[in-house]
Chain A
Amino acid sequence: MELFEAINNRRSIRHYTTDPVDDDKVNKILEAGRWAPSWANTQCWRFVVIRDPDIKARIGQSLMRIKRDDKLVDNPGTKAINDVPVLIVVCAEMNKSGCKPGDATSKDFVTDKGDWFMFDAALAVQNMVLAAHGLGLGTVIMGAFDAPMVEEILGIPEGYRVVILLPLGVPAREGKAPPRKSLDEIAARDRWDS
């Protein structure tokens, strides 16, 4: 698929069929993630590919429940995680991105942003969502869940954190593009206001 078509037509997909996704496609998507740039090529990202329905179901329970008519109900994302054949959990190694090079144990961050793991993980994730769309598959980037709970379920070691959940599957419904701010609102010339 042509790049601009992928960028413009990618949607966050919240309803999936239970159709399978083969390993070849999953590998292409992970490969796309791996080609993202990163802070001093530190590549802090790690991907856990989950097909086991039981593990998926447990992770689905980590999503924050939502209030409807004064009752807490399952987040619709929980169903999406159960329906999709593959859930990619994006993790990151701490104290690599944003640090001085060479010192693996350094917590000597270079900038006022501290650890840049969120930034580098997102570069890889954007490659993956575009690649998935290019293969006719849907994704949705999930951030609102109990990350420590998922870290426990997956046995994530010290020094690593879970960043996002990425369900991957065949879309059951087309997604909608939420309205974007106008370019005038978000882009300025030479200085903030001009």
Chain B
Amino acid sequence: MDVFEAIKTRRSIRKYKPDPVSDADLQKVLEAAHWAPSWANTQCWRFIVVRNPDIKKQVAGTLMKVQFGEDWLKNAAADAIVQAPVLIVACAQKGVAGYTRDGTPVTDKDDWLLFDVALSIQNLTLAARALGMGTVIVGAFDAEKAAAILDVPDGYSVVTMTPLGYPDHTGQAPPRKELTDIIYTDKYGKS
């Protein structure tokens, strides 16, 4: 699939078919994630591939509910994690991206782990799309509980997760801001 087609047709998928994901396709999406650039090539990302239904269910239980008016509803992604044959959990080593070798932060942003993990996850979502699979990037979960379930050691943080499987709906593109609202020329605010 063409790179622009993958970028423009990727959707967040919240319903999955039970159809299995082959090891070969799984390998392709993980390799795509791993080819992302990173701070001084530190590659702080680590991926846990969860196929075990019981562990998937436990991790789905860490997702936060979504407020809808007065009501608190289950996040649709929680069901998606149970449905999809694979859950990919992206973790990161703390204190490497954005730091000098002696552990001093280089910038006013401190740890760049969110940034570097996102570069790799975006490659992964695009690769999945090109292989006909769906993903949805989940951030609203209890990361400490997820770390306990998955035996993630101290010094690492669970950053994000996505179900991986075949879509059971087409997904909708939520409206984007106009380019003129987000792009300026030469100075901020100048169009």
Contacts from A to B (Cβ < 8 Å): 1-4, 6-8, 10, 12, 27-28, 30-32, 34-37, 39, 41, 43, 45-52, 55, 64, 91, 98, 100-101, 110-113, 116, 118-123, 125-127, 129-131, 133-134, 141, 143-145, 147-148, 154-157, 160, 163-164, 178-181, 183, 186-193
Contacts and interface: CB of A to CB of B under 8 A. Distances in A.
Contacts of B179: 27, 30-31, 34
Query: In terms of DSSP, what is the predominant structure of the interface of chain B?
Result: mixed
B61 to A, nearest CB: 16
Nearest to B130: A3
B49 A187 contact: yes
B112 to A, nearest CB: 6
Contact of B51 (A48, A113, A189): A189
Given A47-B184, A120-B118, A156-B188, 18 more contacts: A4-B28, A4-B32, A30-B179, A37-B12, A39-B139, A45-B182, A112-B144, A118-B109, A119-B160, A122-B122, A127-B7, A131-B7, A134-B2, A155-B187, A180-B43, A183-B27, A188-B47, A190-B51
A130 B5 CA distance: 12
B21 interface: no
Interface in B51-72: 51-52, 55, 64, 67
Given A27-B179, A130-B7, A131-B3, A191 B151 contact: yes
Contacts of A123: 118-119, 121-122, 137
Contacts of B125: 37
Contacts of A164: 115
Contacts of A134: 2-4
A43 B176 contact: yes
Contacts of B4: 28, 32, 131, 134
A3 B127 contact: yes
Nearest to A140: B37
A98 B139 CA distance: 8
Contacts of A35: 7-8, 10, 176
Given A45-B182, A123-B118, A181-B43, A188 B48 contact: yes
B141 interface: yes
A12 B160 CA distance: 25
B153 interface: yes
Contacts of B159: 113, 119
Given A12-B37, A118-B114, A192-B48, A111 B176 contact: no
Contact of B3 (A6, A45, A143, A160): A6
A10 B119 CA distance: 13
